[in-house]
Amino acid sequence: MEKLAAAFAATLGKYVSKEIVVFIISMIPILELRGGLIVSKLIQVPITTAVPLCIVGNIIPIPFILLFIKRIFQWMKKIRICRGLIEKLENRAMSKSDSIKKYEFWGLVLFVGIPLPGTGAWTGSLIAALLEVDFKKAILAELLGIILATVIMSIFSYGLLGALMH
């Protein structure tokens, strides 16, 4: 993820400020807040600036995914060339949904908050939408998950990674 985030930062950094780079990276699936915090340290954005940018950037897509992704997927499945991709995305998301099915709220918090490959707010929102988790419950769980991810990734990016970079 670090190499991918750095590549995005190098490309975007030619056109926009460091802060906008961090914000945009935090909105991108796969990279999200985790990538945003890693990049913010690499491009020397202060943690006090980076954390709010990353949190807001990571939050923005959540309500749209929760509210509209099922309809968008239904529509895209009608297009023959998209059907396989959408079914693959749904199956991949649902294969990671066991903890959310079992523990719902806290499962979603941990799924979003613990920085492991394939987890995060985008996938958590997709799973919550597919499982038809209550909107308010899903939003709250994902916000708590983002806070948890922020703490973990801030320690990693500005603590451990920061110490290794100096």
Write out the two tokens for 66.
């929760």
How do the domains of the chain map onto residue ranges? 2-59+150-165, 61-148
Q: Is the pLDDT of residue 164 over 70?
A: no
Q: What is the pLDDT of residue 78?
A: 94
pLDDT confidence of 14, banded at 50, 70, 90? confident
Asked if residues 122 and 65 have their Cβ atoms less than 8 Å apart, the reply is yes
Rounded to whole angstroms, what are the CA distances from 38 to 5, 74, 80, 89, 116? 8, 35, 38, 26, 14
Please report, in angstroms and rounded to a whole number, the separation of the first and last CA atoms in the chain.
21
Provide the 8-state DSSP code for 155: I
Q: Percent of the chain at pLDDT above 90? A: 68
pLDDT tens digits, 60-117: 999 999 999 999 999 999 999 999 999 999 998 889 888 888 888 999 999 999 988 8
Residue in 122, 48, 51 with CA at minimum distance from that of residue 92: 122
Supply the pTM of this predicted model. 0.86
Identity at 32, one-letter amino acid code:
E
5: Cβ contacts below 8 Å, ≥ 6 apart: 25, 31, 35, 36, 38, 39, 42
